[in-house]
Chains A and B, each alone.
Chain A
Amino acid sequence: RKEVEQDPGPFNVPEGATVAFNCTYSNSASQSFFWYRQDCRKEPKLLMSVYSSGNEDGRFTAQLNRASQYISLLIRDSKLSDSATYLCVVILISSGSARQLTFGSGTQLTVLP
């Protein structure tokens, strides 16, 4: 079983739609959670951190459910510019206090005009 699992999609949604992605992780000791966005042929960039209390950044809302070991990302009022691959990222503190990222394989979103 993969440590971090995401539905690869693709999700094709019309402009203005609300879309949600889920991600599950297997290691209950995971400590930090993020969503990254990756545009085609570019490097991943941090979109937002994910907290147990839930957090919102404009049209984006992230939630963490530690009991069920999943995180979610909700995008409201989708824009064409939201088209990208969204990567779920989980961090474990490993030896020497190194913070090791584990990535999901990404969910591809295409917002259609």
Chain B
Amino acid sequence: KAGVTQTPRYLIKTRGQQVTLSCSPISGHRSVSWYQQTPGQGLQFLFEYFSETQRNKGNFPGRFSGRQFSNSRSEMNVSTLELGDSALYLCASSAGQGLIEQFFGPGTRLTVL
């Protein structure tokens, strides 16, 4: 079974631009969560989608948004990029409505210049 895939793996953007990151969960998994990892703040929850609905959202500004498609693939978008958005963005998938095992992808490394 293929794992969680994230594209692209690396991105370089400049301040003010926007970016879209993609995540394909494990086949059959319907829940996708996004996390931001930085050296200073560690791992922080962004949002979670289940069956195309956002079920939970972390404490991030509205510049961070996401969506999930009918095939469970998910995208997250960051608009008006700031230097502080430089981070590793991790996507995780889990099977069902109750979170037990959550499997992570390799991440997208975003650098904002």
Do A and B make up one complex? Answer: no
> Measuring CB to CB, which residues of chain B are less than 8 angstroms from any residue of chain A?
none
